[in-house]
């Protein structure tokens, strides 16, 4: 007892001494508890798909949507390519990590390593580095391209930067042309100029403006496999393909087009993607070369006979989220004016093995497209163009048209039969919206040529009809017949599209150098009188269409089944009659113009006078006229 008492007394004295000398108490030894696994509170509020920068660009939150994966690591320039373990968010599907101490003005290459096996780039990145294809990109097209991190990793890598170069938009007051007055020029940057970039294409903007077009539809410009592609083998949907130029060069191209009154429409490929896509690679069975059943975006097997690459499942929530994120990005970052959805008929989960079953009315497909269309309207409802390459059941297309979507209408075969002088299959009355059951023509885009069609001049020169001295296979004759076909095309109410160099009679076959291979560029055609005459005729007809409402709202009657074809439009007090002889010999025309009187000819400038309602005239092969009761403006 004495010993215990003495110990207590000593401790008491020591405690008093410590207090007097202002010495802190010795802390208690903490109780040792079993280790507790930290609970992930979930994604930070600022996170989004891909990369989001915070702290003025000094920090980045990087995410990857990868359901079912057991481990995801991040590596890159920011830590000399060491592996950084990512956290799994509480949803169990998303992996994330925050990186700090970044230089906002520095580009950082990075990659994901999934389950210790698969290296992929970020599907949401705005720029990639490709060790195989970037070496062929000229510095004049893409200056100061970041070097690939050779020796650090392999495969495609993503690039992120906190303070990206910011483009200052100039033409912020652009008003999009009305749909029924739209004249679209479909353009492949690769085959439009020898430098194949946005800057060189801009140098031709006066040429396009002089033609009178008011919209350019760019074939796909987001990253695709290789460099020399049409772009329908997409891999990264947020990254412009560097073979055509930088992000700011594309923004500048769009801005300058707006300054010329020209809308810009992007061709988007959402039916499929290709093997370079990280979303394909994340869930892929290499033994059978197909996506696995666990893939949240892609079908194991394609659903329809026209598929290429790997087939998106548009009934999947993950796909819908992804597509909407892509649409939002391009609308907001690039101020584009419309999307053309490639092979939109493929947005289906119904299995088909032939075109008839593939084209049949599909309520699910309609719902999917309506959902995307409504989402775009929520982003930009100001006459934004949604264009579908659909070619499905007329009743289905009518529903989509009533929702404001625009449908491609291919006249290539029948019009080309007409220009070649083969009359039996030359009826192109499918150009009229009433044939499709549409309530108005605003949503039917007629074209004679697109990227997908054989060039009509190629077939004119190779297979054109001959009668005596009249020979469609002669260049001058074939070009004049192209002119006549254009007069009819632009007289049909509704929007129109022409393919690049169609207006110069480009005659190189689509199958030259393989179908999608690089084609010769012939800007010297513009200096040749016969071809320049065709360009001038296109410009005239486009001008007439844009300046005279009758070509948009006129009530049509027509006969396009015979050699002598005509279209008559009536609107208020005016009537326009377009008449042409597509035969290869003289034909007597007998056409009801509806009224007698003086008729102005927009082609020759020489008016005619009818004493009765009927136009009786012997027309030479290839002869055509555009008559009107009241003189037309423009053109």
For 627, phi then psi, to 5°, come to -100, 150
Q: What is the pLDDT of residues 340-380, one digit of tens each?
A: 999 999 999 999 999 999 999 999 999 999 999 999 999 99
What percentage of the chain reaches a pLDDT higher than 70?
Answer: 94
Tell whether 11 is covered by a domain.
no
Q: In 496-562, at which residue ranges do the beta strands (DSSP E only) sit?
A: 496-499, 555-559
Q: What is the pLDDT of residues 101-151, one digit of tens each?
A: 999 999 999 999 999 999 999 999 999 999 999 999 999 999 999 999 999
DSSP conformation class of 153: B
Tell whether 121 is covered by a domain.
yes
**What length does the chain have?**
635
Q: What is the pLDDT of residue 234?
A: 98
Tell whether 259 is covered by a domain.
yes
Give me the CATH number covering residue 600. 2.60.40.1180
Q: What is the pLDDT of residues 166-192, one digit of tens each?
A: 999 999 999 999 999 999 999 999 999
Q: Taking all residues of the chain, what is their mean pLDDT, rounded to a whole number?
A: 94
Q: What band does 17 get if pLDDT is binned at 50, 70 and 90?
A: very low
Q: What is the pLDDT of residue 38?
A: 35
* Four-point Cα dihedral 325, 51, 171, 382, nearest 10: 20
* HEC per residue, 402-444: HCCCEEEEECHHHHHHHHHCCCCCCCCHHHCHHHHCCCCHHHE
Q: What is the pLDDT of residue 19?
A: 36
Whether residue 82 is found in the same domain as residue 205: no
Whether residue 470 is found in the same domain as residue 583: no
Cβ contact 149:109 at 8 Å? yes
Tell whether 373 is covered by a domain.
yes
Give me the CATH number covering residue 423. 3.20.20.80
Q: Which whole number is the average pLDDT over 390-418?
A: 98
Angstrom distances, CA of residue 73 to CA of 116, 151, 295 = 8, 19, 20
Whether residue 566 is found in the same domain as residue 545: no
Please state, in angstroms and rounded to a whole number, the distance separating the CA atoms of residues 414 and 427. 6
Tell whether 417 is covered by a domain.
yes
Whether residue 423 is found in the same domain as residue 291: yes
Which of 528, 553, 578 is the C-terminal boundary of a domain?
553
Q: What is the pLDDT of residue 36?
A: 35
Whether residue 298 is found in the same domain as residue 406: yes
Tell whether 171 is covered by a domain.
no
- DSSP run (H or E) holding 16: helix 2-20
CB-based burial label for 317 (10 Å; 0-12, 13-18, 19+): exposed
Which of 553, 575, 595 is the C-terminal boundary of a domain?
553
Tell whether 31 is covered by a domain.
no
pLDDT for 418 beyond 60: yes
pLDDT for 32 beyond 50: no
For 13, phi then psi, to 5°, come to -65, -45
Q: Which whole number is the average pLDDT over 320-337?
A: 98
Q: pTM for the whole thing?
A: 0.93
Which of 553, 587, 620 is the C-terminal boundary of a domain?
553
Whether residue 452 is found in the same domain as residue 592: no
192 token code pair: 């439009």
Domain of 73 in residue numbering reads as 51-160
Whether residue 376 is found in the same domain as residue 404: yes
Q: What is the pLDDT of residues 237-259, one digit of tens each?
A: 999 999 999 999 999 999 999 99
- For the ranges 18-27, 179-188, 279-288, 294-303, the lowest mean pLDDT is seen at 18-27
Q: What is the pLDDT of residue 635?
A: 83
Whether residue 239 is found in the same domain as residue 298: yes
Q: What is the pLDDT of residues 82-100, one digit of tens each?
A: 999 999 999 999 999 999 9
Contacts of 576 (CB under 8 A, 6+ apart): 491, 548, 550, 551, 554, 568, 569, 626, 627, 628, 629, 632
Tell whether 139 is covered by a domain.
yes
Cβ contact 621:470 at 8 Å? yes
């Amino acid at each position: 007892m004495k010993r215990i008492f003495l110990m207590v007394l000593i401790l008491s004295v020591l405690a008093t001494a410590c207090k007097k000398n202002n010495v802190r108490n010795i802390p208690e030894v903490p109780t040792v508890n079993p280790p507790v696994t930290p609970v992930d509170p979930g994604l930070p509020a600022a996170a989004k798909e891909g990369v989001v920068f915070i702290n003025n660009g000094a920090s980045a939150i990087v995410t990857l949507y990868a359901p079912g994966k057991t481990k995801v690591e991040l590596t890159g320039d920011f830590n000399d390519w060491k592996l950084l373990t990512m956290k799994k968010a509480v949803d169990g599907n998303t992996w994330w990590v925050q990186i700090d101490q970044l230089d906002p003005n520095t580009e950082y290459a990075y990659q994901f390593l999934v389950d210790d096996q698969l290296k992929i780039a970020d599907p949401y990145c705005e720029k990639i580095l490709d060790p195989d294809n970037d070496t062929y990109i000229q510095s004049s097209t893409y200056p100061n391209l970041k070097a690939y991190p050779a020796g650090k990793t392999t495969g495609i890598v993503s690039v992120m930067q906190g303070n990206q170069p910011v483009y200052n938009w100039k033409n912020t007051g652009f008003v999009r042309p009305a749909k029924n007055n739209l004249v679209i020029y479909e353009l492949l940057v690769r085959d439009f100029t020898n430098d194949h970039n946005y800057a060189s294409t801009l140098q031709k903007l006066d040429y396009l403006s002089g033609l009178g077009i008011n919209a350019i539809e760019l074939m796909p410009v987001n990253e695709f496999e290789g460099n020399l592609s049409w772009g329908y083998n997409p891999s990264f949907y947020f990254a412009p393909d560097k073979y055509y130029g930088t992000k700011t060069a594309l923004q500048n191209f769009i801005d300058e087009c707006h300054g010329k009154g020209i809308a810009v429409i992007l061709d988007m490929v959402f039916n499929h993607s290709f093997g370079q896509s990280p979303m394909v690679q994340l869930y892929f069975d290499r033994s059978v070369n197909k996506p696995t059943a666990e893939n949240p975006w892609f079908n194991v097997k394609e659903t329809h006979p026209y598929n290429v690459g790997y087939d998106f499942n548009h009934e999947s929530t993950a796909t819908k989220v992804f597509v909407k994120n892509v649409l939002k990005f391009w609308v907001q970052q690039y101020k584009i004016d419309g999307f053309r959805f490639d092979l939109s008929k493929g947005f289906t989960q119904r299995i088909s093995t032939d075109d008839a079953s593939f084209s049949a009315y599909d309520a699910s497909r309609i719902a999917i497209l309506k959902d995307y269309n409504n989402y775009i309207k929520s982003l930009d409802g100001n006459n934004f163009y949604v264009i579908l390459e659909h070619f499905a059941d007329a009743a289905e297309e009518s529903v989509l048209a009533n929702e404001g979507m625009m449908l491609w209408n291919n006249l290539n075969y029948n019009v080309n039969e007409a220009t070649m002088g083969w009359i039996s299959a030359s009826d192109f009355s499918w150009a009229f919206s009433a044939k499709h059951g549409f309530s108005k023509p605003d949503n039917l885009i007629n074209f004679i040529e697109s990227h997908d069609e054989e060039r009509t001049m190629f077939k004119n020169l190779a297979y054109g009809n001959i009668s005596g001295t009249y020979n469609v296979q002669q260049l001058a004759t074939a070009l004049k017949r192209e002119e006549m076909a254009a007069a009819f095309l632009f007289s049909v109410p509704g929007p129109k599209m022409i393919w690049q160099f169609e207006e110069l009679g480009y005659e190189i076959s689509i199958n030259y150098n393989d179908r999608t291979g690089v084609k010769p560029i012939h800007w010297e055609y513009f200096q040749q009188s016969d071809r320049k005459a065709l360009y001038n005729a296109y410009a005239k007809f486009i001008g007439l269409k844009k300046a005279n409402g009758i070509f948009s709202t006129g009530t049509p009657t027509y006969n396009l089944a015979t050699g002598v074809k005509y279209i008559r439009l009536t609107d208020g007090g005016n009537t326009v009659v377009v008449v042409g002889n597509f035969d290869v010999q003289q034909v007597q025309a007998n056409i009801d113009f509806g009224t007698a009187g003086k008729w102005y000819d927009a082609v020759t400038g020489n008016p005619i006078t009818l004493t009765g309602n009927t136009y009786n005239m012997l027309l030479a092969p290839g002869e055509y006229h555009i008559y009107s009761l009241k003189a037309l403006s423009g053109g």
